[in-house]
Structure 1
């Protein structure tokens, strides 16, 4: 664990970016209810190993930007670490002065990687996961929601056992896929009825426990734009239920550059609300292609 001293202009988002963590994690570690409590001088806990430092001697002509480039430290992070703003750097970065800069910020970040997998139930599932054993999550595609609120089972035992062997977190992917397409009316049938939503959630919780999943990934697609508030409610209900049992919740969403609530396909995704409710999300930025679709150029 490390300590960050809040400076003027800091936000939880900017602090999270410097240390490679999330706003949610900073709120949790520091028992903060909201982001309005930051004041200069406040000490915050941030995740990671204690920071070690190394000396750097300022050279003639050095600027914050040139030093950050030499040391491969983000300029904003270096500025906040040293307490030197770009406006005063010309006076403070005197040739010959020794600065103590963080070692940890120069190291590469570890990223989390998810892969979707359609398991066959055959030994080849284990062989496939062995070849990609560095991934973080494998999302089993898919547990299809049925109109009665139950889930179509998936033959994923081999893949789940292999994921455990290779220390990959298995996720249960829940979809409105009916075997041929992502079914708009099927999604509406589930989302429009609170008791039906709860029935789906109950079945998800049962499968999570029985099959040893680490979390659930929801991949509802081609929903009615008017079902946007209903989808928000479903994700909120599901999030409360799974986190109470220490499971993670993630979702797959279509990519967009602006929010158009009435747009087909994209309108149902309320980025702001959904982003607050999930632990992480997948933006489907792969040019609309999938294994059952037409050929596409590589990206």
Structure 2
């Protein structure tokens, strides 16, 4: 897979020719509704011919396996396909093997070095009886070098059949799914949630569901609600008991606590509550995880940050999700949603107090459209990456890329003369985030939120990592 940035004068035919691929493969992988309209500055994900294939209408696993010269089982294993019926148009599948034609003077050891695999792997997949018995002109199958393994969580707010369809389509890219959300009540009971379609789709894709618990009430995070639980041991025991009953009944693998705007004086109360949760849940095999605000220091001021004790959560929880997004928030000034320099500042602090293999880095799958000049009190609209590109095409403006923030943006003027500024994610920005997760040696990444059209993210993820499954 490669990323191409559209230049002045580019046509889809020229781009396909230059990469030796088929136009239709590019169209499907990037969900191009109008292939004849290319916005200058937009990114395109280009599949590598022979190694990657984008599923087309009418394809089956058997047909694609025949095309690659592998068995359907080999193809399914390489691409985390648990059910052959869960094959969707536009998904990219990877050939588990490359081919190499032996040249005069070549030996298996040298060929293995060239492709980053072991001689034993080449011998095994080609059924070579003696390592020296290869000859010029012989075609060898070369296993694809192993990609780093990572864990991927996805929060999802749409929990009906449409949400289930999203998880069925994207499940092979996920380790965990986190239906958002169960809210606590001040007596330790939980709100109701009808998330069955999402849970059923998760099971079909061997995705482990995490039960998300929040202090959200009447449209906002409620500090008093969190305090009512954290300051009362009896209420905590009631809440933990209710959690266990729900998790057992619905088949959850663990819990994620997303308590936000907690009073600073409840910092230790929150930590003690988590210890009690672990004591009750771990013996039954449940994971305990938390979502934390993006802090750059232990003493960072503000109601959002002070009660989130990075070091304590890193010691107590199985892993933490850092909410490294929302710098460009709906009520603030135009800015990248997750500027990579800011994300790295958070990680630079986090890794000093939390083990790296317990950190999941938050990633946004959306963008925002602000009216400019920005006026305090106004609210930006949320747009998907696909909608952002459509806006740029509609108003005939090029897309720019900020190298400091590693994010795409553009400006346009609408029919009423109102100026806008749009920041959004694209293939380049998510590649920068995957590079960061790898460079910091993190446990994985966590998306907020599934369901927004962003087809480019998935082949980029697939090209960088192999997703862990349980």
1:212 maps to 251
Distance 1:242 1:177 in 2: 23
Higher RCO (Cα < 8 Å, 6 or more apart): 2
Confirm whether residue 295 of structure 1 aligns to residue 421 of structure 2: no
Alignment partner of 1:277 out of 312, 316, 330 = 316
Contact 1:225 1:261 in 2 (8 A): no
Are residue 160 (structure 1) and residue 246 (structure 2) matched? no
> Which residue number corresponds to residue 131 of structure 1?
169
5+ unaligned residues in a row in structure 2: which ranges?
1-107, 117-144, 331-365, 367-378, 383-422, 426-470
For residues 294 and 206 of structure 1, what CA distance do their matches in structure 2 show? 40
Using structure 1 for the length normalisation, give the TM-score.
0.62
Aligned runs of 1:109-128 on 2, under 5 Å? Answer: 109-121=148-160, 123-128=161-166
- Shift in Å at residue 164 of structure 1? 0.4
List 4+ stretches of structure 1 deviating above 3 A.
Answer: 288-291, 293-296
- Are the structure 2 counterparts of residues 202 and 261 from structure 1 closer, same or farther at C-alpha, using a change threshold of 3 Å? farther
After superposition, what is the alpha-carbon deviation per residue over 1:118-175, rounded to whole angstroms, capped at 9, x for unaligned?
A: 2433x21221112211211100111100111100010101111111011111110000
* Deviation of 1:108 (Å): 2.0
Residues 184-223 of structure 1 mapped to structure 2, 5 A cutoff? 184-223=223-262
Contact 1:119 1:155 in 2 (8 A): no
Equivalent in the alignment of 1:75: none
Corresponding pairs, count: 201
Partner secondary structure for residue 259 of structure 1? coil
- Give 3-state SS (helix, strand or coil) of 2:260's partner: coil
Q: Relative to structure 1, is the Cα distance of residues 259 and 152 closer, same or farther in structure 2, using a 3 angstrom cutoff?
A: same
Corresponding residue of 1:145: 184
The verdict on how the C-alpha distance between 1:55 and 1:215 changes in structure 2, with shifts beyond 3 A counting, is: same
Tell whether the 8 Å contact from 2:293 to 2:308 is kept in structure 1 after alignment: yes
TM-score by length of 2: 0.40
Deviates more, 1:214-223 or 1:107-116: 107-116
Measured at CA, do residues 130 and 149 of structure 1 come closer, stay the same or move farther in structure 2, by a change above 3 Å? same
Q: Are the equivalent residues in 1 in contact too, given 2:153–2:176 (CA < 8 A)?
A: yes
Q: Any idea what the Cα deviations from partners look like across 1:72-97, whole Å, max 9, x if unmatched?
A: 9xxxxxxxxxxxxxxxxxxxxxxxxx
Aligned to 1:50: none
CA RMSD of aligned residues (A): 2.6
SS of corresponding position for 1:244: helix
